Structure 1
Amino acid sequence: MKPMDTRLAKLARKGDQRAFAEIVSLYKDKLFHLAYRMTGNRQEAEDVVQDTFLRVFKNLERYDENQKFSTWIYRIATNLCIDRLRKRRSVYSLDAESSDHEGLDGYAMLPSDDRTPESELLLSETQRVIHQAMETLPAKYKSVMVLRYLQDMSLQEISEVLDMPVTTIKTRVHRGREFLRKKLENKL
């Protein structure tokens, strides 16, 4: 039996508007979270989500039902984010020197149960520094790091979403963490 989202895509392809609305309902929050983490901008994230659903609607006939629907829709959203980041980078070329750095892994900074006002302040400052470092990542690393650590995807799933070999994904995750470490070693 095919997964629910694949069945919905098949129905939407035949013109069932309720099926497409259900797809939107299933994925809008997940895609927004992904886009917001990649772009760091609420309006851009909303635009990416809207553009993703427009592309999905226009290209439903191209969807291969033998492929996971989630992989297909995440690929569309991720590519739209990467396109926006590339366009943004050319506009802000003054930052080009620092764009060779990258970073992430906020999960390592989660607080313990014994929170104090001091530890909360330190945590929020640490998270702010990590998010700033994340913003400096080149798009090719940022997409992999967001999918890996914030969307909690496996290397295989990321490979499918980005249509790249797993070995390339592993390399980019490793380099992303290295850049983050270098970027953060003097700030934390």
Structure 2
Amino acid sequence: MENMDSRLVKLILKGDQRAFAELVELYKDKIFHLTYRMLGNRHEAEDMVQETFLRVYRNLDKYDPNQKFSTWIYRIATNLCIDRLRRRKPTYSLDAEINDQEGSDGYGMLPSDERTPEGETLLLETQTQIREAIDSLPAKYKSIMVLRYLQDMSLQEVSDVLNLPVTTIKTRVHRGREFLRKKLEHKL
């Protein structure tokens, strides 16, 4: 993957527009999943994907080929999401997202042998509570928790994306988990 990334970057820097389209195709879904999980809103996530690729295009000449391209693009997307979260008003509702089943993709999937109406209701309520708990995390913890647990990145990868020491990442993962545990033990 990384060899393909560096080949595409070189072609893009030479003015090859098809190479940029290929790069977008390679990363658009991954970046969307990241931004959606951080923001919890489909439209905002789509905006952040577009903004991420716009930043990549504008700043590709500043990309250091000695680092992984995926780390660089994830850093751009994560920073844009953190900025968006900081600008948000403190209270907002996710009811519209949850009512149409959008985004109920694994935050709180409970194992069940059979689906009953009561079980489905309980599952939806649990997912809602977990989503609200994640969304209530301060941005510095939320970005780390999303990258670590929802994007399945290692501590070192999260460290590279956020440009923070691994020790800081470990501390914030611990504090983020504690925050979630305390928040959820009152609700679940």
Q: What RMSD over aligned residues (CA atoms) do the two structures have, in Å?
A: 2.0
Q: What is the CA distance between 1:147 and its match in structure 2?
A: 0.3
Q: Which residue of 1 aligns with 2:136?
A: 136
Match of 2:78 in 1: 78
CA drift at 1:119: 2.9
Determine if contact 2:34/2:151 at 8 Å carries over to the other structure.
yes
Aligned-partner Cα distance in 2 for 1:108–1:43: 19
Partner Cα separation in structure 2 for residue 110 and residue 41 of structure 1 = 19
2:9 corresponds to 1:9: yes
Structure 2, unaligned runs of 5 or more = 93-104
Structure 1, unaligned stretches of length 5 or more? Answer: 95-105
Shift of 1:120: 2.9
1:187 offset after TM fit, Å? 0.5
Equivalent position amino acid for 1:114 in 2: D
- Count of aligned positions: 175
Q: Does 1:114 align with 2:113?
A: yes
TM-score, L = length of structure 2: 0.87
Give the Cα–Cα distance (whole angstroms) in 1 for the partners of residues 128 and 109 of structure 2. Answer: 13
Deviations 1:89-127 (A, max 9, x none): xx3389xxxxxxxxxxx9684333513313333222111
Match of 2:20, SS state, is helix
Q: How does 1:1-188 map to 2 (within 5 A)?
A: 3-88=3-88, 91-92=89-90, 109-112=108-111, 114-117=113-116, 118-188=118-188
Alpha-carbon distance between aligned partners in 2 of 1:180 and 1:166, rounded to the nearest angstrom: 21
Q: Distance in 2 between matches of 1:160 and 1:80?
A: 16
| Cα distance in 2 between the residues matched to 1:2 and 1:133 | 35
CA–CA distance in 2 between the matches of 1:42 and 1:127? 17
CA distance in 2, matches of 1:9, 1:121: 48
Q: Provide the C-alpha distance between the structure 2 equivalents of 1:2 and 1:112, rounded to a whole number of angstroms.
A: 37
- The residue type paired with residue 180 of structure 1 is L
Do the aligned partners of residues 83 and 57 (structure 1) sit closer, same or farther apart at CA in structure 2, a change above 3 Å counting?
A: same
Looking at structure 2, the residues matched to 30 and 14 of structure 1 have their Cα atoms a distance apart, in angstroms, of 25
Equivalent position amino acid for 1:18 in 2: R
1:2 deviates by 5.3
CA shift, 1:141, in A, is: 0.4
TM-score, length of structure 1 as denominator length? 0.87
Question: Cα distance, 1:173 vs. partner?
Answer: 0.7
Q: Closer, same or farther in 2 for the Cα pair 1:2/1:180, shift >3 Å? A: closer
